[in-house]
Homo-oligomer: A and B are copies of this chain.
Amino acid sequence: MRITVLAGGVGAARFLRGLRAAAPEAQITVVGNTGDDITLFGLRVCPDLDTVMYTLGGGINPEQGWGRADESFLLRDELAAYGAGPSWFTLGDRDFATHIVRSQLLASGTPLSEATRLLCERWQPGLRLLPMTDDTVETHVTLAAEPPSGAPTVIHFQEWWVRLHAAVPAASIVPVGAERAVPAPGVLEAIADADFVLLPPSNPVVSIGPILAVPGIRDAVEAKTVVGVSGIIGGAPVRGMADACLTTIGVETSAAAVAEHYGPRLLAGWLVDDQDKAAADDPRCADIEVRALSLYMRDLDTTATIARAAIDLAQELS
């Protein structure tokens, strides 16, 4: 069985652990979002790729869902002592090594996809992790109102998300560079060769959105059977601030509205939580097969059950 998954960060990584447990024999390829990537202290940081790599490779901080376990923060404190910014993005001492190795590879002309493969040789995540593109895409946010600190109107997604906690309304969210980006080597093939494509409960706007915005990827995905897992339960994101992103693009924060946002050309099946089972009869989900089950990824077992349901639905719809 070949499964290709479009993935953001924490939610996707947790889903992927369940997927690997549910289908240990499957060949899983992950097409990871790089729109969150940012250069900090001269180093290239790829938060979503690293979250998937660390989580599947056993190096994640399981409580917070991102960053390394047994982490310390001497370097952050030292950088702050130098007045080197930004101070709102925390990188741990262990985590820094990943960014240093990647930056050195990129500086020597190694594409991000190859750098990711080399980093994964250490972590052995048990799946193939591909960035959506080797080109630079950075999601930027145009603020609807000037924040108190007088930050520029257009800021990097990470600044909006991490520094402003997405609490300042955004007028638009744009994966800058996506329209000129080329899918990374293997991405289109992994989609075309897959038995089906899964969308984990990642943020539809800033995680899945940038991946689909890379020319060629949406078409490739639409040609396949796609099953998604709603990250919205009971009208709110399970984790993170996807509601702020959905509001920005004019989409209601509900499982049914996100299904409509993806649309039946892309989405064949849609897993929603039990409390959202009414979505099955919602006209916005017409032509999309909706199944309800508990979508809380409480532990590996419950997550594997969700992944199993996604696989079953995809096979049924294929």
Contacts and interface: CB of A to CB of B under 8 A. Distances in A.
Interface in A101-128: 101, 103-104, 107, 118-119, 121-122
B107 A42 contact: yes
A74 B94 CA distance: 6
Closest 8 CB pairs of A and B: A78-B97, A42-B104, A74-B93, A93-B93, A82-B101, A84-B101, A79-B97, A41-B100
A150 interface: no
13 contacts: A41-B101, A41-B104, A42-B104, A74-B97, A75-B96, A75-B97, A78-B96, A78-B98, A79-B97, A79-B100, A79-B101, A81-B122, A82-B119
Interface in A27-52: 41-43
A216 B82 CA distance: 33
Number of this chain's copies in the complex:
2
Contact of A84 (B41, B43, B81, B104): B104
B74 A42 contact: no
A90 interface: no
A107 B42 CA distance: 8
Nearest to A68: B78
A93 B97 CA distance: 10
A83 interface: yes
Contact of A100 (B43, B94, B101, B118): B43
Contacts of A118: 82
A315 interface: no
A87 interface: no
A75 B104 contact: no
Contacts of A153: none
Interface of A: 41-43, 72, 74-75, 78-79, 81-84, 93-94, 96-98, 100-101, 103-104, 107, 118-119, 121-122
Contacts of A82: 97-98, 101, 118-119, 122
A78 B43 CA distance: 16
B104 A78 contact: no
Contact of A78 (B41, B42, B94, B121): B94
A289 to B, nearest CB: 43
A279 to B, nearest CB: 44
Of listed A82, A104, A122, residue having the most chain B CB within 10 A: A82
Contacts of A101: 41, 79, 82, 84
Contacts of A119: 82
Contacts of A84: 97, 100-101, 104
A36 to B, nearest CB: 21
Contacts of A72: 72, 74, 93
Nearest to A95: B78
Nearest to A83: B122
A244 to B, nearest CB: 31
